[in-house]
Amino acid sequence: MDSISQAVLGASIGGAMLGRWHGRKALLIGAALGTLPDMDVVLDFGDAVADMTYHRGFSHSLFFLTGLSLMFAWFVRRWRPHPDYSAMRLWLSIWLILVTHVLLDAFTSYGTQLFWPLTSAPVAISSIFIIDPLYTLPLLIAVIVALSIGLGRTGLRWQLAALTISTLYLLSSLAGKQMADYRLDQALARGEIETTRRFSSPTPFNTLLWRVVAVDGDDYYEGLTGWLDSDLPELEKLPRGYSHAAPALEGSVQHQRLRWFTRDILRYDLIEGQWVVTDLRLGMSGYHPFRFALATITEPQGKSELIQEVEQWPTPRADFSRIENLFRRAVDSSYRLSLRDLASTLGDPPLR
Residue 211 inside a domain? The answer is no
Specify the range with the lowest mean pLDDT, choosing from 56-60, 120-124, 296-300.
296-300
Q: How confident is the model at residue 202 (pLDDT cuts 50, 70, 90)?
A: very high
Could you report the per-residue pLDDT of 9-20, keeping only the tens digit for each?
999 999 999 999
Specify the range with the lowest mean pLDDT, choosing from 35-49, 211-225, 301-315, 328-342.
328-342
Q: How confident is the model at residue 72 (pLDDT cuts 50, 70, 90)?
A: very high
Q: What average pLDDT does range 258-262 have in this prediction?
A: 97
Q: How confident is the model at residue 63 (pLDDT cuts 50, 70, 90)?
A: very high
> What integer pLDDT is reported at residue 346 of this predicted model?
47
Could you report the per-residue pLDDT of 262-286, keeping only the tens digit for each?
999 999 999 999 999 999 999 887 7
Q: How confident is the model at residue 323 (pLDDT cuts 50, 70, 90)?
A: confident
Residue 161 inside a domain? The answer is yes
Pairwise CA distance, residues 57 & 209, whole Å: 30
Per-residue pLDDT at 349 exceeds 60: no
Q: What average pLDDT does range 56-85 have in this prediction?
A: 95
> What integer pLDDT is reported at residue 215 of this predicted model?
96
Q: Do 209 and 326 form a contact (C-beta atoms < 8 A)?
A: yes
With helix as H, strand as E and coil as C, how does 277-308 read?
EEECCCCECCECCCEEEEEEEECCCCEEEECC
Query: In a 10 Å sphere around its CB, with 0-12 CB exposed, 13-18 middle and 19+ buried, how is residue 43 labelled?
Result: middle
Per-residue pLDDT at 186 exceeds 90: yes
With helix as H, strand as E and coil as C, how does 125-145 read?
CCCCCCCCHHHHHHHHHHHHH
Pairwise CA distance, residues 60 & 220, whole Å: 31
Share of the chain above pLDDT 90, in %: 83
Per-residue pLDDT at 344 exceeds 80: no
Q: How confident is the model at residue 224 (pLDDT cuts 50, 70, 90)?
A: very high
Q: Do 264 and 215 form a contact (C-beta atoms < 8 A)?
A: yes
Q: What average pLDDT does range 59-73 have in this prediction?
A: 98
Per-residue pLDDT at 299 exceeds 80: no
> What integer pLDDT is reported at residue 175 of this predicted model?
98
> What integer pLDDT is reported at residue 343 of this predicted model?
59
Q: What is the pTM of this model?
A: 0.92
Share of the chain above pLDDT 70, in %: 94
Q: Higher pLDDT residue, 319 or 179?
A: 179
Task: Enumerate residues 6+ apart whose C-beta is below 8 A from 189.
Answer: none
Mean pLDDT score of the chain:
92
Q: How confident is the model at residue 341 (pLDDT cuts 50, 70, 90)?
A: low
97 lies in which domain range? 3-173
- One-letter amino acid of 157: R
Identify the DSSP state of 315. Answer: -
Residue 193 inside a domain? The answer is no
Q: Do 208 and 228 form a contact (C-beta atoms < 8 A)?
A: yes
Size of the chain in residues: 352
Q: How many domains does the chain have?
A: 1
Could you report the per-residue pLDDT of 324-340, keeping only the tens digit for each?
888 888 888 788 776 66
| 3-state SS assignment for residue 193 | coil
Residue 306 inside a domain? The answer is no
Other beta carbons less than 10 A from residue 347's beta carbon: 16
